[in-house]
Amino acid sequence: MRGLLDSLLSLAVAIAVGAVVAYISGYNPLLVYYSMFVVPFTDVVYVTSALATATPIILTGLTFALGLKAGLFNIGAEGQTYMGALGAVIASYLAASALALPLSFVIGISLAVAWAMAPALLKAYRGVNEVVSTIMMNWIAYWLVIMEASTTFSNPMQPSETIKMPPSARLTPLMPGTSLTAGFFVAVAAAPLVYWLLERSVIGYELTAAGLNPVAARIAGIPQSRVVIYSFLLGGVTSGVAGVLQVAAMPPSYSLATNLANVYGLGFDGITAAMLGRGNPLGILLAALFLGLMEEGARHMQALAMTPFEFVKMLQGIMILVIAVRMLELWRRR
C-alpha cells in the first residue's frame, strides 16, 4: 500500500515538473497530458497497443527484480533483450516453417542467458561490479546485433530490417487491426511465476536470504556464487523471451530493425518498472502496464501536442528520482 502511494506521489511530482518543462519549451502542458493519459483510452486499438508496449517491459522488469532480490544491480536486461531478438532472427534464418517459433525461444533464451552469464561469472569468481560489467555487455551486444542484423540476416527487400519470421511461426494479433498478440499473456503469466519462484521456491529462498544478508547466507550454506548465477540465469531467461517476442510477436514487420528500434531501451524501461513496482513481480506487472500506457500516450502526444516522444522518458526519470528519495526503509537492505 505504502509502495503504491509512493508511486502515485512520484507520478504527481513528475507531472508537475514535466508541466513546467513542457511550458518552458513552448508546448501546452494540458494538451500534453490529455494526449498522454486520456487519448489512449479512447480507442480499442490504442488500448491494445498500450498492452503490447507493456509486454516486453514486464519481462525486463522481472530480470531486474530477480537481481534485486539477491542484492544485485543487474542492468543487463537491455543487451540480453537484443540477444533474444537476434535469436529469433537466427531461428527465422534456419527454419522456414512453424518450427521457427520454438527454435526462436531456444536460441533467443540461450543467447540471452549466455550474455547474462558473463557478468555473473565475473561477479562470482572475480568480484567484478555487476553495474559496470552488465553495461559493457549491453554495448557489446548493441554493436554485435547491429552488425549481424545488417549483414548476415539483413533483408534484401528492406535494408532497414532483418529477414522476417516465417508466416506460420508468427504470433498474430488476437483481434484484426490491433497489435496485441498471445505474447502479452506469456509476459503476464511470467509475473506470478516469478513471484512464486521468489516467494515459495528453494531458489527464491536462497536468493532472498543472500539479498538480505550475504554473510549469514554463506554461513548457512548458500554460496554467493550460486546466488549470482541463478539470479542472472533466470533474469536472462525473461529478457531473452522479451527479445524473442519483439520479433515473433511484432506485427506488421515480424523482424528486427537494423537500428534496433523495436528492442532499444526496453531493458531500461524494465528497470523503471521494477522500481515503480518495488521489486515485487506483481507490482512490476502493474507498473509495466502503466508504463505501456504512458508510452502509447506519448505517441499521441507527439502527434497532437507536437512534443518530442522522449518527454515521457524524462518524466520516468523524475519518477524514479522521487522513488529513490522515498526509500527510507530500504526494501532492498544492504
Partner 1 sequence: MLLTQTIHAAIPILLAAVGEILAERSGVVNIGLEGLMLIGAFVGVLVGDVAGSGLIGVAAAWAVGLLLGLLHGAIAVYIRGDQLVAGVAMNLFGAGLVAYGIQAVWHVAGYRQTPSWALVDVNAMTVLAFAVAGAMWYILSRTRLGVAIRASGEDPEAAYSVGIDVFKIRLFSTAVGASLASFGGAYLSLAYLSVVTKDISAGRGFIALADVVFANWNPLLAIAGALIFGFFDALSYWLQIFGVARYEVTRMLPYIATLLVVAGVIGRAKPPRALGKPFRKE
Residues that bind partner 1 (CB under 8 A): 21, 25-27, 73, 75, 118, 122, 126-129, 131-133, 135-140, 143-144, 146-147, 151, 268, 271-272, 275, 307-308, 310-318, 320-321, 323-328, 330, 332, 334
- Nearest-CA neighbor of 72 among 84, 64, 82, 62? 64
| In the complex, least distance from residue 35 CB atom to partner 1, rounded to whole angstroms | 15
Q: How far apart are CA 225 and CA 144, in angstroms?
A: 28
Closest CB to partner 1 among residues 220, 324: 324
One-letter amino acid at 264 equals Y
Closest CB to partner 1 among residues 36, 171: 36
Q: Supply 147's cell numbers.
A: 552488425
| In the complex, least distance from residue 97 CB atom to partner 1, rounded to whole angstroms | 31
- Nearest-CA neighbor of 239 among 101, 59, 116? 59
Cis amide linkage into residue 252, ω under 30° from 0: yes
Closest CB to partner 1 among residues 27, 230: 27
Closest CB to partner 1 among residues 167, 317: 317
Closest CB to partner 1 among residues 41, 139: 139
129 with 287: CB under 8 angstroms?
no
| In the complex, least distance from residue 137 CB atom to partner 1, rounded to whole angstroms | 8
* Residue 309 to residues 152, 153, 271, 302, 320, Cα–Cα distance (Å): 32, 29, 19, 6, 18
From the CB of residue 86, how many other CB atoms can be counted at a distance below 10 Å?
29
DSSP letter assigned to residue 307 = -
Closest CB to partner 1 among residues 18, 183: 18
Closest CB to partner 1 among residues 282, 324: 324
| In the complex, least distance from residue 300 CB atom to partner 1, rounded to whole angstroms | 16
| In the complex, least distance from residue 36 CB atom to partner 1, rounded to whole angstroms | 14
| In the complex, least distance from residue 127 CB atom to partner 1, rounded to whole angstroms | 5
Closest CB to partner 1 among residues 282, 325: 325
Q: How far apart are CA 83 and CA 139, in angstroms?
A: 12
Question: DSSP characters for 19-62?
Answer: HHHHHHTT--HHHHHHHHHTGGGG-HHHHHHHHHHHHHHHHHHH
Question: DSSP characters for 83-136?
Answer: HHHHHHHHHHHH-SSTTHHHHHHHHHHHHHHHHHHHHHHHHHHH---HHHHHHH
Q: How far apart are CA 239 and CA 224, in angstroms?
A: 22
